[in-house]
Amino acid sequence: MSNVIAVVNHKGGTGKTTTAINLAAGLTRYSDVTSSCLVIDMDPHGCATSTLLGKLDGAPPARSVFDVLRRAITPQDGIASTIYDENIDILPSNPSLESMAKTQITDRLAKVVDALSTSYGWIIIDTPPNLGVLTQNALVAADYALIPTQCSGLAVPSLHQMKTLIERVQERQNVWLQLLGVLITQKDGRTPLQRQVRRELGQVFQAGDIFRTIITSNIKIEEAPANFQSIYAYDSGCLGASLYRDWIKKEFLKKHQRLEKLKVEKREAAEAGALAATTAEVVAEE
Ligand SMILES: Nc1ncnc2c1ncn2[C@@H]1O[C@H](COP(=O)(O)OP(=O)(O)OP(=O)(O)O)[C@@H](O)[C@H]1O
Ligand SMILES: [Mg+2]
């Protein structure tokens, strides 16, 4: 079964796509879980799609996640190989995905992910900068939410809304969704903001939910997608590569392992509870 991660933040330009694609590439390299990875691009702008398919100005893909969501094609038929990494496939975006955003359907992607979950070790979902239907579909389909945020005081207050949406999805549609963590990105090495931003983040999230690693601003991180490469393939020795690599190895995978354990315990408790309730019902009937 796949581990499904939705990369979310309704603020624009916080590093969602950059983190999603470098996380995907990092997981195929550094995780013990089956190395194959699927990226699902739920942003109609399709930045992840352009990078992974190697087409910056070309026509949008003929078959996309939108066709899968509207059930015109099967999930398997929507998938494309990437030039970005041989172990990463993509369910690409298309501008027409915008029309899905106008519906009220929030559980369609979960069914698509279910159908694909035996084929990939990891499924990473990139999302648009809003709290609408496309982001909600990602959260309903995911095991984990990962929130990249900029190192700016202005970025923090709006995260209350993100947290509220995650809690609403947990209550109503996906009890198994867990917050994987908040990743601070694009910190300018010169600003002393880090402590203040951490303090402010601490008012919205628990301290353990904020990753210690900070992905500082690094020109190579910006250049890599224009070359259709992950940061590790583009320049494995640069600061950006070592930051993402260290974050994945030292924090992401360990946190994921801890939360997986918690999930198993929660499932077992739920099953034991259900069994006890059934037994009580049978006894009452006798
Ligand atoms: N650590 C970094 N150092 C330098 N540039 C970065 C870094 N992270 C992201 N960027 C650049 O910042 C811009 C915004 O990043 P990205 O597209 O990943 O954000 P996003 O949250 O996906 O944006 P949107 O909300 O528009 O989808 C991009 O040009 C990207 O190359
Ligand atoms: Mg993006």
pLDDT, tens digit only, all 286 positions of the chain:
889 999 999 999 999 999 999 999 999 999 987 779 999 999 999 999 999 999 877 788 889 999 999 999 999 999 999 999 999 999 999 999 999 999 999 999 999 999 999 999 999 999 999 999 999 999 999 999 999 998 777 778 789 999 999 999 999 999 999 999 999 998 776 666 677 888 888 889 998 999 999 999 999 999 999 999 999 999 999 999 999 999 999 999 999 999 999 999 988 888 888 777 777 777 777 7
With vertex at residue 59, the alpha carbon angle to CA 55 and CA 63, rounded to the nearest 5 degrees, is: 95
Indicate which ligand has the atom closest to the C-alpha of 238: 1
pLDDT of 48: 97
In a domain, residue 214? The reply is yes
> Can you tell me which residue has the tokens 């609403």?
168
* Number of separate domains in the chain: 1
Closest ligand 1 atom to the C-alpha of 218? 3
Find the CATH number of the domain harbouring 144.
3.40.50.300
- Which residues on neighbouring strands pair with residue 6, listed in sequence order? 125, 145
- Cα 126 to ligand 2 centre (Å): 7
Distance in angstroms (rounded) separating the CA atoms of residues 39 and 4: 10
Residue of minimum CA distance from atom 5 in ligand 1:
222
- In three-state secondary structure terms, 182 is strand
In a domain, residue 194? The reply is yes
Residues with CB under 6 A from ligand 1: 12-18, 43, 47, 129, 185-186, 215, 217-218, 221-222
From residue 38, alpha-carbon distances to 6, 24, 118 in Å are 12, 8, 11
In a domain, residue 280? The reply is no
Among 132, 137, 162, which Cα is nearest to 148's? Answer: 162
Contact in structure between 126 and 225 (CB atoms under 8 Å): no
Residue of minimum CA distance from atom 13 in ligand 1:
13
For 20, the domain range is 3-256
- Helix segments in the chain, DSSP class H: 16-30, 47-53, 65-69, 75-78, 108-116, 133-141, 159-172, 194-204, 219-226, 231-235, 239-246, 253-285
Closest ligand 1 atom to the C-alpha of 240? 1
Pocket perturbation via mutation, ligand 1, pick of 187, 222, 229, 242 by most ligand atoms within 8 A of CB: 222
Residue of minimum CA distance from atom 20 in ligand 1:
13
Closest ligand 1 atom to the C-alpha of 12? 25
In a domain, residue 25? The reply is yes
In a domain, residue 262? The reply is no
HSE-up of residue 165 (Cα within 13 Å, Cβ side)? 22
148 exposed, middle or buried (CB, 10 Å; 0-12, 13-18, 19+)? Answer: buried
Pocket perturbation via mutation, ligand 1, pick of 8, 14, 17 by most ligand atoms within 8 A of CB: 17
Closest ligand 1 atom to the C-alpha of 129? 25
pLDDT of 120: 95
Distance in angstroms (rounded) separating the CA atoms of residues 237 and 230: 12
In a domain, residue 285? The reply is no
In a domain, residue 76? The reply is yes
pTM to 2 decimals? 0.94
In a domain, residue 261? The reply is no
Distance in angstroms (rounded) separating the CA atoms of residues 24 and 35: 10
Contact in structure between 128 and 45 (CB atoms under 8 Å): yes
Closest ligand 1 atom to the C-alpha of 148? 21
pLDDT of 190: 62
- Token pair recorded at residue 64: 């996309």
Contact in structure between 231 and 224 (CB atoms under 8 Å): yes
